[in-house]
Amino acid sequence: MMAEVVMYHHAQGLTDGVKAFADELRQAGHTVHTPDLYEGNTYATLDEGMDYARATGFGAIAERGVAAAQSLPENVVYAGFSLGVVPAQQLTQTRAGAAGGLFYYSCLPAEEFGSWPDGVPAQVHAMEEDPFFAEEGGDIDAARALTAAADTVELFLYPGKEHLFADSSLPGYDEGAAKLLLQRTLDFLAAIR
């Protein structure tokens, strides 16, 4: 059985690299939805993208993400890249019937959305020296706490310090790490029932 996935882009928007990643999952037979939370805008730098997110409001962007999933069946996998982890993790934890979560470059404390649902699998992927993940916001602490609390959640750390390392359209792309992340994602989706 193939999985249905809702994939939320990062703060630079629905880039060609995010689209290419979604296409890789489609080629493996999965159904992938890529809602555009930025209404067609993409940004060359993370700072510019974050400026747009701040001006629009992080809450408004998360609401767009949640709204984008409402017409879909319950048993989908919610995937998010960095900023996109906010709606992905919220839906994984709060929408009935969630099939799983894929959180790339970010992880929020589970308490943000209540508690982790019993039996729901998830993966968290990040570079071990990514300052956004390992230092600033405590994402790595949230990810470790989540994996300790839920035996269905795995944390994968990759060597390096890039943030958006699996986006082939950005300068921080790391082909080796991105291929491993993709393979782990495909293995995760293949196990979804």
Report helix, strand or coil for 139: helix
Per the structure, the complete domain to which residue 103 belongs is given by: 4-190
In 3D, which of 41, 40, 109 has the Cα closest to residue 50? 41
CB atoms within 10 A of CB 120: 18
Length of the chain: 193
- Give pTM, 2 decimals: 0.97
Question: Which residue is associated with the tokens 């940004």?
Answer: 43
- Count of the separate structural domains present in the chain: 1
Please report, for the domain that includes residue 19, its CATH number. 3.40.50.1820
Q: Would you put residue 54 in left (φ > 0), alpha (ψ -120 to 50) or beta?
A: alpha
- pLDDT, tens only, 94-128: 999 999 999 999 999 999 999 999 999 999 999 99
- pLDDT, tens only, 17-72: 999 999 999 999 999 999 999 999 999 999 999 999 999 999 999 999 999 999 99
